[in-house]
Amino acid sequence: MQITDLVLKLGRNDVKLIRRDSFMLLLLGFILWISLILRYVLPWLNGYLAATGVLPGESVDATLAEYYPLIIGYLAIFEGALIVGFLFGFILLDEKDDNTLLAMLVTPLPLRQYLMYRVVLPCVLAFVVILAMTLFIGVALPPFWQLLLIAAGASLAAPIASLFFGIFAENKVQGFAYSKFSGLAGMLIIASWFVSEPLQWLFGIFPPFLISKAYWIAVEGSGQWWMVLLAGVILQIALVAWMMRVFTRTMYR
């Protein structure tokens, strides 16, 4: 099957599944909601907290603006990719419920091509979403070329999330339960901010942390950001490759 035909056929089916599912539409709306809140509320809140003596204050000697990299790194760079991953994860579960995946095993479409589509498309869309969100929010921005590379590295979290659903969830009910667990895993990124180095590097067992860490370092202007980004990309690619093999085995049970 030609790659173009594959993308068009699967793409049309994806659009149909998204349009008929209000939860998937809500996920897309959540991206816009986060972006609007961070663009318009965050600067106002920073000024308000400073004016009222909360941040900085007696207990915390820092402005809210000093936490912008943490907020953007979690809500835009990580969550932006995660939401896209959730979207395609629920598409996978829809195809499970409809027995589309089982029927695919007896069609001319190779499972490997299908999986590549399910990995590459979330990456591409997550890259666009992350880049659009960070540029729209417009705070704590590294140089544009660095942001491009960070967004590309962060986009790998999308297929990780979608394959996680495809491997471990049997249906959309389980998918909803696992989505809470996936969101909680992202709390590791927030927790790591408050841990000093070298202990902070222990959070590298959660590869998306390394992408957020690379973003923090890039915002600071340090030249070491690319090494951290590269480590995060390598670990995420290895994880995606492993999950693809696991997903393939589950399909042939």
> Tell me: the pLDDT tens digits for 69-126?
999 999 999 999 999 999 999 999 888 877 777 666 666 667 788 889 999 999 999 9
Tens of pLDDT, residues 186-218: 899 999 999 999 999 999 999 999 999 999 999
Mean pLDDT of 138-167: 96
Mean pLDDT of the chain: 90
Collapsed DSSP state (helix, strand, coil) of residue 26? helix
DSSP secondary structure letters along 126-190: HHHHHHHHHHHH-SS---HHHHHHHHHHHTTHHHHHHHHHHHH-SSHHHHHHHHHHHHHHTHHHH
User: Closest by alpha carbon to 213, among 16, 227, 100, 133?
Assistant: 227
Q: Position 225: which residue type?
A: W
| Residue 24, token pair as written in the block | 């998937």
143: left (phi over 0), alpha (psi -120 to 50) or beta: beta
Is the pLDDT reported for residue 11 higher than 70? yes
Q: Is the model more confident about 182 or about 137? A: 137
> Helix-strand-coil percent breakdown of the chain, rounded to 5?
80, 0, 20
Question: Are the beta carbons of 76 and 215 closer than 8 angstroms?
Answer: no
Whole-structure pTM value: 0.93
Residues 6+ apart with CB under 8 A from 182: 82, 85, 86, 161, 164
Angle, helix 172-185 to helix 157-168, in steps of 10 degrees: 140
Q: CA–CA separation, 19 vs 24, rounded Å?
A: 8
Collapsed DSSP state (helix, strand, coil) of residue 57? coil
Is the pLDDT reported for residue 50 higher than 70? yes
Q: Is the model more confident about 17 or about 33? A: 33
| Residue 128, token pair as written in the block | 């666009």
